[in-house]
Amino acid sequence: MNLWRVAVDEGSGEVQGVPQPVTTPSAWSALPSFSRDGHLMIYATNDNRSFIEQVPFDPVRGQTTGPPVLIFQGARSIWSADFSPDGAWLVFRSSSPQEDLFLIRPTAASCGS
């Protein structure tokens, strides 16, 4: 998504040039602000990224036993996730941009969008 900028005369408010696109690496950008010298820009973003992480767990003590490992990342809202009975697969459901079911092996190599 592009933001647009255009030079404006501060006294009259008249447009002083052709609008120029300001491309950001985000799928959605809003509320831009430029520094006085024009060398910095800030903007708000909402990328709706979702992550599935796997973490070692001790069921007897009821606590994690190690750091999380990223299994999946993407620009989809994840609504449910579950292991297969043998733990070799992970199934999850997304609803945006369309409703889909995904079946992946839960390894760090599964990461992608």
- pLDDT band for position 47 (cuts 50, 70, 90): low
Does residue 14 surpass a pLDDT of 90? yes
- pLDDT band for position 70 (cuts 50, 70, 90): confident
Q: How many CB atoms lie within 10 A of CB 61?
A: 8
With 0-12 CB in 10 A as exposed, 13-18 as middle and 19+ as buried, what is 24? middle
Q: What is the mean pLDDT of the chain?
A: 80
Q: Could you state, in order of their start, the residue ranges of all structural domains in the chain?
A: 2-45, 50-110
Direct distance between the N- and C-terminal alpha carbons of the chain, in angstroms, rounded to an integer: 18
Distance CA(82)–CA(57), nearest Å, equals: 15
